[in-house]
Amino acid sequence: MADNLVIEVKGLSKTYKKGAKAVDNLNLIVKEGEIILFNNKFKNKIDVKRNIGLVTQEVCVFEQLNVIENVTFFCGLYINDKATRDQSVKEAIELVQTQDYIKYKPSKLSGGLLRRLHIACGIAHKLKLIFFD
CATH number for the domain spanning 83: value is 3.40.50.300
1 and 27 belong to one structural domain: yes
Split at pLDDT 50, 70, 90, the class of 21 is confident
48 and 93 belong to one structural domain: yes
Average pLDDT over residues 120-124: 93
Total number of domains constituting the chain:
2
What pLDDT does residue 20 have? 84
Whether residue 69 has pLDDT greater than 90: yes
pTM of the model: 0.67
Split at pLDDT 50, 70, 90, the class of 71 is very high
On average, the pLDDT of the chain sits at 86
104 and 47 belong to one structural domain: yes
What pLDDT does residue 2 have? 47
Compute the radius of gyration of the chain from its Cα atoms.
17
26 strand-pairing partners? 12
Instruction: Output the CA torsion sign for 119, 29, 4, 44.
Output: negative
100 and 70 belong to one structural domain: yes
60 and 118 belong to one structural domain: yes
Percent of the chain whose pLDDT exceeds 90: 48
125, 78 contact by CB (below 8 A)? yes
Which one-letter DSSP state was computed for residue 41?
T
The predicted-structure confidence for 77-102, as pLDDT tens digits, reads as follows 989 999 999 999 999 999 999 999 99
Structural domain boundaries, residue 2: 1-36
12 and 66 belong to one structural domain: no
CA distance 131 to 57: 10
